[in-house]
Amino acid sequence: MLIHLKTLGCRLNEAELETWAQAFQKSGHQITRQAEAAHVIVLNSCAVTQDAARKSRQLIRRTHRDNPQAKLVVSGCYATLNEDEAASLLGVDLVVSNKDKDQLVEKTLAELNMDSMPTLSTEPGEISLFTRGRQRAFVKVQDGCRYRCTFCIVTVARGEENSRPVQAVIDEINALHKQGITEVILTGVHLGGYGSDLGNNLSALIQAILAQTDIPRLRLGSLEPWELPGDFFELFSNPRLMPHLHLPLQSGSDTVLRRMARRCKTEEFAAIVNQLRAQIPNFNVTTDIIVGFPGETEQEWRDSFDFIKQTGFGHIHIFTYSSRAGTKAAGLPDQLSNDIKKQRSRQLHELADDMKQTFFANNIGLEFPVLWEGYREALDDGKQRVFGYTPNYLRVACVIDGDVSVENRTLNCVVTAVGESSVCGELILT
């Protein structure tokens, strides 16, 4: 059978796709990039916002329309929160909720009558990441969250915290490295809470990975800026742990943070950022900000804007607040008008663009080892433009000869100029 995998939403969804892809291959089935050729399509949905839920419904409908013969399996947060609705959509053959995700492949094979082992079943020959056009792997290390931020529906969809054993994570990373992957990103709903159910913590996991694997590059996914172990910052003295963290701030106003039920004040957040930057030059801190949270006054917005500007970020994911049924924030008073939210969003986008350009400029003249991606653009003069990422997660574009292949290689590059969405560099071929 040809299996096609799709996802919306977070890196955790992407990590789950990879786990399923490996399991399908071990059962003798093939992964395909072409949805129109697939016999089975698995869609990992999202519901972090009402808009994400809407996009999940649209993707389900479009997927069935483009390949009506394929069996369609839907999982993820939208399917978990709206199981009956998802099951009723045209073309959906199977819904697997988040609590049953670990058995998705087995359920798909059994319930869609695919459970007979193919005669040519073998271990995967070509790693499914490469089959799907990926050069780095997301590794899920935990699921669920014990906290209840007032705007968040994901904790309802994902349930309680559940950490994977250290050895299971190490075994997966070693298997990925053996198959050619050189960078993995640890992901989880509440990554900083890793090990709370195992008597362990995130630092211990990272130390074990660095000691028991040879993976050249290790990254961390989105990490809440609280509960960081005391020895966490020391880990970045190892050059294999990449100097970039995505720390969701959500607001630069302490009073708004209280209404959000966030557990990190601005002063504590600033201390974390300052410590990282003092330890490693050009450490890249990126963040999430929600604009127009219920009751956000003009003064709170100004305080938030000023703190964000003072802190400086390499990139900001900006979310205009929208009411999400099932969350506490949906019932809070003083919901803001769309006009105010749009105005503040525009202001923050302008600031975010300026900060990104400043961070780009601060890296000009520096030389980095860059992991080059598979995507490239052909140019008219026989050249090609290739793209990759520095350790501190700068996207770099380089023009090289058209007959040179750098895909999935780590080669040094000097940053030479600032572009709109990436920096420009000069590749050093040795």
Using DSSP's 3-state secondary structure scheme, residue 112 falls into coil
pLDDT, greater one: 12 or 269: 269
* Average pLDDT of the chain to the nearest whole number: 91
224 and 355 within one domain: yes
Q: Which residues are CB-neighbours of 147 under 8 A, at least 6 positions away?
A: 155, 190, 224, 261, 263
Q: What is the pLDDT of residues 110-164, one digit of tens each?
A: 998 775 444 444 444 444 554 445 678 899 999 998 888 999 888 778 888 899 9
Give pLDDT tens digits for 313-329. Answer: 999 999 999 988 889 99
Q: Is the pLDDT of residue 420 over 90?
A: no
- Structural domain harbouring 190: 132-362
Give tens-digit pLDDT for 341-364.
999 999 999 999 999 999 999 999
Strands 244-246 vs 284-291: parallel, antiparallel or unpaired: parallel
Considering only residues 170 and 281, tell me which one the structure prediction assigns the higher pLDDT. 170
d(Cα 44, Cα 417) in Å, to the nearest integer? 38
User: Is the pLDDT confidence value at 340 over 60?
Assistant: yes
Look up the CATH number of the domain holding residue 61.
3.40.50.12160
C-alpha triplet 102, 196, 199: angle, nearest 5°:
105
Q: How many domains does the chain have?
A: 3
Residues 105 and 150 in one domain: no
CA-wise closest residue to 321 among 292, 354, 283: 292
Q: Is the dihedral of CA 100, 101, 103, 109 positive or negative?
A: positive
Cβ contacts of 420 within 8 Å, gap of 6 or more = none
Residue 269 lies in a domain: yes
119 domain-assigned: no
Check: CB of residue 334 under 8 Å from CB of residue 354: no
Q: Are residues 95 and 198 in the same domain?
A: no
Please indicate, yes or no, whether residues 62 and 99 belong to a single structural domain of this protein.
yes
Q: How confident is the model at residue 380 (pLDDT cuts 50, 70, 90)?
A: confident
Residues 197 and 332 in one domain: yes
**Alpha-carbon distances, residue 221 vs 12, 13, 129, 285, 336 (angstroms):** 9, 12, 18, 12, 31
- Residue that is last in its domain, among 328, 362, 396: 362
